[in-house]
């Protein structure tokens, strides 16, 4: 063997062997217990994978390798999220068509992933741009449409002037890099999540998915899964469910018109002194505004609507408003309340109108102070309230609340709600911040939406249909004319994306596909007359909303195929029901925190819908969800070419090897925390692997037989620690423990048996698979004095006779050997520490008591006193209670 670990020769050699042996192939319906481990598949929106990909892929690869050795049938797949804005932006930047750049980037990234020695099952590789794949993305959309969960509506949308597309609320970030709440709208303070350009607002007809229909289940079913608490909290807060009551305030002078408000605090109802409308809501009540007030109100509304809602929220400290001249009647007291319009009230939450309780709400208090409006206290709390200096926003005892005086807030909320409901003055209600998902995009590189608009079908249906046709669900207006919405027949799927030269966004509000007349104009599948295709495409979140299901059966569909049109329609979800049932749910899914309210939420929604169609087992796709921290540059800043701090993983692998790269990605710091890349840390891991290489030669040279003593005890402790740390995301401490053990081996002058060294190699294998394989196979080299080889140095593999270390069982530790040899006992007298003693682990109370009482630091505190009670915690503490 060479003096050092030559990764340039050894790593490619084993990668070829593993590929030839198909070592990491998952087996459907194995008798072994299954373990489906998933990492988010990457966007091929750059030439290469980066070190951030390396962190999650290498660490979860260690988990997959460990679980295989522990006896599980592991599915660890990968694919490419190749449609959507990221890939299109890259194509525009390079000036090369996205169909070309995507293929090139996938090829480069795949080669890169293979060079890292990742144990993916490549037979199941998917690409969302493959027509046979997005055939099923389109099929799922059609099921959503047929169930009334996909519809078209004119809505306010976020517009990125750089990308020239509309963005969902979830794709807009605020100044601190955090995503908007679902009810926020974009502004100069909101930026495109992809390019960072400030976004604006416009109204446009869009396809929407009714994710709000699943809002309750998306919250409630989080109790059925093992997600990190912050992941659960983000989803719950994003959905923003709140229970309350919707109350009617009748407009004075009208029997039919009322202002409805939603509140979670009906206990403050008697404290309402005015109402405030959002500018959008005020537009609906303009007919009730007196002519003397209308010019001022209309001017204010125009100015307010020129701002985005986020900007209006940012200006909340400088509240503005206008009295509309309208009054409304308090439902319980009959008091006439002035109705104002103010831009701090948003239309996206509740009803777009609020009941102002200035004594118990900070915003209302500030507004009332500014415009000299009445402030009436109705909740008292002598311990906490600072009223009238400040509003009291907590709970307490009701005052000035008629028959409800003296009640505590919790009881009052229930009683006042029932009082309103019985008298039909209000009704119980649940409101959400979550809004329906803006699903269509006006760009090229995406799945075509499989819908055809037909004028002739509209004319026929509108005359014959006894049921009123609903706009957005049954028909749309195109240039002022109604057109029926007809889904593309299943047997005609996929609607393939045509190749076009002019693929850049138009900025007109239409997709570039709208200019391709030969593609747009098609015969209607219902009546045969000329119709037109939908030219919008799906967002990049579409293909990733179900990709985890495709991995269960994709290897059985002949891989990535494109010549599929005209084949007999066969429902893949029904055909591969057994495979889906076997592998789902995913046992462990790791991905970025930035996807918590995007992909993670969307994919849970799609899966629940498929569950309702009885196509998947169980209500949740992911049993466990974890997230990794971001990898920063060596300077502690986000990596970027402009800063010159980008770490190229290919350069690290070329210089130090894949095992060093993998080991450092695991060792660099706590997996869930953001961490800076440290070149010194890379060198440290490389030195560790060189030490392993040297130790191998030394152990074989010494030919130690029999028990390895203390070192063997530490080896069994290492087995336990590496296993437990790997399965609990403590990859850095697992690697550190192996480093420490190798140092102990060196100090002991390598006095270790070859069999125990083989155990260590198995422990090392999930983290340094190439080195571990090389050394494990060399143990079978005749020159080492052990068994005949299955493979040696550079000899060829004896086909069919290869026993990889990665197919060996994970070593079992001896419980007797993992117990600590000695422990430190804290000795207390009357609860105060008076000394410590070292004793063998498991020493009983009688012996510990005797030794403790003889300690020089303890004797003075027991002198002349009687020990009334002894508290003993084995291997930990003894406390003498005296009197």
Distance CA 502, CA 505 (A): 9
Give 383's contacts (C-beta < 8 A, 6+ positions apart). Answer: none
Cα dihedral 158/212/144/194 (nearest 10): 30
Whether residue 585 is preceded by a cis peptide bond, meaning omega within 30 degrees of 0, is yes
**How many angstroms separate the CA atoms of 651 and 653, rounded?**
5
DSSP state for residue 41 in the 8-state scheme: P
Q: Does 164 belong to an annotated binding site?
A: no
**Distance separating alpha carbons of residues 534 and 488, to the nearest angstrom:** 10
Please provide the DSSP assignment of 606-648 as one string: HHHHHHHTT-SSSS-SBSEEEEEPPEEPTTSS---TTTT----
Phi-psi region of 781 (alpha: psi -120 to 50; beta: other; left: phi over 0): beta
d(CA 306, CA 311): 10
Structure tokens at 516: 């391709």
Buried b (16+ CB within 10 A) or exposed e, 335-369: eebbbbbbbbbbbbbbbbbbbbbbbbbebbbbbbe
User: Of 459, 458, 490, 489, whose CA–CA distance to 474 is shortest?
Assistant: 458
Q: Which of 236, 227, 206, 170 is nearest to 541 (CA)?
A: 170
CA–CA separation, 785 and 793 (whole Å): 15
CB 418 within 8 A of CB 468: no
Beta-strand relationship, 200-209 and 34-39? unpaired
Q: Is 544 left (phi over 0), alpha (psi -120 to 50) or beta?
A: alpha
CA angle 65, 71, 77 (to 5 degrees): 45
Query: CB atoms < 10 A from the CB of 562, how many?
Result: 10
What radius of gyration, in Å, describes the C-alpha atoms of the chain? Answer: 34
Contact 348, 309 (CB under 8 A): yes
| CB-count burial class (<10 Å; 0-12, 13-18, 19+) for 495 | buried
Residue 671 sits at φ, ψ, to 5 deg, of -60, -35
- Cα separation, 860 vs 877, in Å, equals 19
Structural tokens at position 497: 């994306």
CB-based burial of residue 371 (10 Å sphere; 0-12 exposed, 13-18 middle, 19+ buried)?
A: middle
Residues in the chain: 883
Binding annotation: 641
Binding annotation for ATP: 641
């Amino acid at each position: 063997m060479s003096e050092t670990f030559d990764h340039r020769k050894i790593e490619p050699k084993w990668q070829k062997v593993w590929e030839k042996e198909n070592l990491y192939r998952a087996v459907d319906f194995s008798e072994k217990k299954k373990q489906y481990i998933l990492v988010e598949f990457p966007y091929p929106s750059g030439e290469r994978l980066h070190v951030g990909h390396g962190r999650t892929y290498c660490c979860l690869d260690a988990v997959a390798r460990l679980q295989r050795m522990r006896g599980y049938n592991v599915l660890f797949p990968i694919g490419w999220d190749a449609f959507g804005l990221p890939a299109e932006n890259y194509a525009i930047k390079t000036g090369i068509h996205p169909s070309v750049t995507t293929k090139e980037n996938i090829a480069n990234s795949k080669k890169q992933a293979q060079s890292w020695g990742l144990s993916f099952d490549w037979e199941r590789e998917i690409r969302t741009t493959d027509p046979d794949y997005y055939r099923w993305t389109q099929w799922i959309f059609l099921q959503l449409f047929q169930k009334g969960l996909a519809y078209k509506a004119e809505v306010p949308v976020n517009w990125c002037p750089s990308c020239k597309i509309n963005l969902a609320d979830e794709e807009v970030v605020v100044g601190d890099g955090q995503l908007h709440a679902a009810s926020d709208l974009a502004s100069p303070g909101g930026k495109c999540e992809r390019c960072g350009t400030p976004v604006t607002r416009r109204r446009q007809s869009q396809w929407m998915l009714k994710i709000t229909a699943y809002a309750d289940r998306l919250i409630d079913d989080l109790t059925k899964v093992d997600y990190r608490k912050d992941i659960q909290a983000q989803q719950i807060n994003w959905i923003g469910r709140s229970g309350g009551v919707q109350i009617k305030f009748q407009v004075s002078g009208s029997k039919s018109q009322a202002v409805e408000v939603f509140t979670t605090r009906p206990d403050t109802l008697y404290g309402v002194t005015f109402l405030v409308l959002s500018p959008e809501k005020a537009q609906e009540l303009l007919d009730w505004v007196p002519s003397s007030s209308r010019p001022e109100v209309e001017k204010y509304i125009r100015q307010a609507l020129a701002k985005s809602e986020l900007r209006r929220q940012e200006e909340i400290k400088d509240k503005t408003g206008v009295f509309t001249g309208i009054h409304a009647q308090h439902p319980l007291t009959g008091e006439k309340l002035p109705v104002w319009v103010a831009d701090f009230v948003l239309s996206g939450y509740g009803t777009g109108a609020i009941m102002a309780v200035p004594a118990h709400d900070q915003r209302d208090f500030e507004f009332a102070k500014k415009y000299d409006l009445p402030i009436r206290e109705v909740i008292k709390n002598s311990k906490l309230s600072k009223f009238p200096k400040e509003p009291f926003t907590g709970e307490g005892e009701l005052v000035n609340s008629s028959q409800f005086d003296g009640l505590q807030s919790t009881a009052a909320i229930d009683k006042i709600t029932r009082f309103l409901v019985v008298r039909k003055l209000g009704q119980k209600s649940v409101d959400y911040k979550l809004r329906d998902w803006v699903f269509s995009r006006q760009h090229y590189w995406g799945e075509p939406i499989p819908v055809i608009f037909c004028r002739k079908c509209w004319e026929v249906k509108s005359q014959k249909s006894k049921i009123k046709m609903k706009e957005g669900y049954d028909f749309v207006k195109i240039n002022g004319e109604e057109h029926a919405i007809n889904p593309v027949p299943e047997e005609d799927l996929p609607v393939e994306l045509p190749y076009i030269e002019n693929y850049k966004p138009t900025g007109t509000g239409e997709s570039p596909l709208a200019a391709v007349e030969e593609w747009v104009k098609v015969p209607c599948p219902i009546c045969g007359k000329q119709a037109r295709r939908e030219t919008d495409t799906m967002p990049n979140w579409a293909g990733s909303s179900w990709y985890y299901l495709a991995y269960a059966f994709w290897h059985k569909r002949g891989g990535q195929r494109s010549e599929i049109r005209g084949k007999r329609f066969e429902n893949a979800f029904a055909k591969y029901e057994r495979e889906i049932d076997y592998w789902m749910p995913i046992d462990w899914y790791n991905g970025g925190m930035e996807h918590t309210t995007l992909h993670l939420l969307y994919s849970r929604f799609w899966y629940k819908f498929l569950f309702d169609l009885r196509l998947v087992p169980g209500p949740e796709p992911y049993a466990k969800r974890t997230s990794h921290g971001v990898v920063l540059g060596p300077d502690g800043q986000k990596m970027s070419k402009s800063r010159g701090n980008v770490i190229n993983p290919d350069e690290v692998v070329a210089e130090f090897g894949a095992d060093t790269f993998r080991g450092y990605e695991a060792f660099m710091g706590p997996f869930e925390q953001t961490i800076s890349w440290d070149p010194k840390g890379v060198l440290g891991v490389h030195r560790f692997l060189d030490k392993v290489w040297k130790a191998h030669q030394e152990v074989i040279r010494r030919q130690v037989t029999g028990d390895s003593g203390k070192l063997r005890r530490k080896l069994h402790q290492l087995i336990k620690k590496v296993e437990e740390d790997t399965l609990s995301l403590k990859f850095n401490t697992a690697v550190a423990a192996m480093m420490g053990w190798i140092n102990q081996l060196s100090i002991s002058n390598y006095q270790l048996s070859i069999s125990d060294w083989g155990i260590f190699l198995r422990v090392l294998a999930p983290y340094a698979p190439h080195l571990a394989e090389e050394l494990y196979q060399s143990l079978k080299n005749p020159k080492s004095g052990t068994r005949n080889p299955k493979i040696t140095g550079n000899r060829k593999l004896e086909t069919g006779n290869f026993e990889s270390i990665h197919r060996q069982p994970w070593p079992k530790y001896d419980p007797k050997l993992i117990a600590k040899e000695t422990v430190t006992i804290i000795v207390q007298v009357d609860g105060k520490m008076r000394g410590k003693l070292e004793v063998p682990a498991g020493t009983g109370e009688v012996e510990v008591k005797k030794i403790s009482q003889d300690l020089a630091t303890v004797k003075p505190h027991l002198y002349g006193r009687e020990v009334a009670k002894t508290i003993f915690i084995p291997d930990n503490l003894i406390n003498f209670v005296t009197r």
